[in-house]
Amino acid sequence: MPQFDPANFIPQLVWLAAIFAVLYFFVVRPTLPKVGRVIDAREGKVAGDLDAAESAKGEADAIRTRYDEGMDAARKAAQAEVAAAREAAARASEVRLKSLAGVLDGKATEAAERLAGACASAKASLTATAAELTGEAVQRLAGIDVPRAEIEAALAAQDRG
Amino acid sequence: MANPMEQFQIEKIVPLDVAGYDFSFTNSSLWMLIAVGAVALFLFIGTAKPQLVPGRAQAAVEYLYEFIRDMLRENVGKEGLRYAPLIFALFIFVLACNLLGMIPFIGAFTPTSHIAVTFGLAAIVFVLVVIVGFARHGLHFFTLFLPEGTPIFVLPLVAAIEFLSFLSRPFTLAIRLFANMTAGHVLLKVFGGFVVALGSFEALPYVFGIIPLGVNVALTALELLIAVVQAYVFALLASIYLNDAVNLH
What does A110-137 look like in DSSP terms, one character per residue? Answer: HHHHHHHHHHHHHHHHHHHHHHHHHHHH
Interface mutation vs chain B, best among A4, A20, A25, most B CBs within 10 Å: A20
Question: Which residues of chain A make contact with B65, given a CB cutoff of 8 A?
Answer: 32, 35-36, 39
Could you tell me if residue B94 is inside a domain? yes
For residue A158, the model assigns a pLDDT of 80
For residue B117, the model assigns a pLDDT of 94
3-state SS, chain B, equals: CCCCCHHHCCCEEECCEECCEECCEEHHHHHHHHHHHHHHHHHHHHCCCCCCCCCHHHHHHHHHHHHHHHHHHHHCCHHHHHHHHHHHHHHHHHHHHHHHCCCCCCCCCCHHHCHHHHHHHHHHHHHHHHHHHHHHHHHHHHHHHCCCCCCHHHHHHHHHHHHHHHHHHHHHHHHHHHHHHHHHHHHHHHHHHHHHHHHCCCCCCCCCCHHHHHHHHHHHHHHHHHHHHHHHHHHHHHHHHHHHHHHCC
Domain count, chain B: 1
Asked if A27 lies within 8 A of B44 by C-beta distance, the reply is yes
Q: Return the H-helix or E-strand segment holding B22.
A: strand B21-22
Asked if the model's pLDDT at residue B1 lies above 60, the reply is no
For residue A129, the model assigns a pLDDT of 85
Q: How far is residue B132's CA from residue B119's CA, in Å, rounded to a whole number?
A: 20
Q: Note the pTM of the prediction, 2 decimals.
A: 0.75
Closest CA to A40 of B185, B139, B84, B182: B84
Q: What is the DSSP letter of B144?
A: G
Q: How far is residue B99's CA from residue B224's CA, in Å, rounded to a whole number?
A: 7
C-beta of residue B174 within 8 angstroms of C-beta of residue B115: yes
Closest chain A CA to residue B23: A11
pLDDT digits (tens, 9 = 90+) for A50-75: 999 999 999 999 999 999 999 999 99
pLDDT digits (tens, 9 = 90+) for B142-181: 888 888 888 888 888 999 999 999 999 999 999 999 999 9
**Chain A: closest CA distance from residue B200 (Å):** 28
Angle at B206 between CA B201 and CA B212, to 5 degrees: 95
Asked if B93 lies within 8 A of A20 by C-beta distance, the reply is yes
Q: Return the H-helix or E-strand segment holding B13.
A: strand B12-14
Q: Return the H-helix or E-strand segment holding B25.
A: strand B25-26
Structural domain of B240: 6-247
Asked if B61 lies within 8 A of A35 by C-beta distance, the reply is yes
Report the b/e string of B5-14 with b at 16+ CB within 10 A. eebbebeeee
Compute φ and ψ for B26, nearest 5 degrees: -115, 180
Using DSSP's 3-state secondary structure scheme, residue B147 falls into: coil
pLDDT digits (tens, 9 = 90+) for A79-129: 999 999 999 999 999 999 999 999 999 999 999 999 999 989 888 888 888
Could you tell me if residue B229 is inside a domain? yes
Provide the number of CB pairs (under 8 Å) joining chain A to chain B.
Answer: 135
Could you tell me if residue B200 is inside a domain? yes
| Bigger pLDDT: B10 vs B227 | B227
**Chain B: closest CA distance from residue A4 (Å):** 8
Asked if A39 lies within 8 A of B28 by C-beta distance, the reply is no
Q: Return the H-helix or E-strand segment holding B26.
A: strand B25-26
For residue A18, the model assigns a pLDDT of 94
Task: Determine the residue type at A10.
Answer: I
Compute φ and ψ for B108, nearest 5 degrees: -65, 145
For residue B206, the model assigns a pLDDT of 66
ipTM, two decimals, is 0.90
C-beta of residue B69 within 8 angstroms of C-beta of residue B239: no
Instruction: Characterize the bridge pairing of strands B12-14 and B25-26.
Output: antiparallel
Could you tell me if residue B203 is inside a domain? yes
For residue B202, the model assigns a pLDDT of 63
Partner-chain residue, chosen from A17, A23, A35, that has the shortest CB–CB distance to B36: A23
Closest chain B CA to residue A21: B89
Q: Is the dihedral of CA B189, B178, B32, B19 positive or negative?
A: negative
pLDDT digits (tens, 9 = 90+) for B192-207: 888 888 776 666 666 7
Q: How far is residue B174's CA from residue B121's CA, in Å, rounded to a whole number?
A: 7
Could you tell me if residue B1 is inside a domain? no
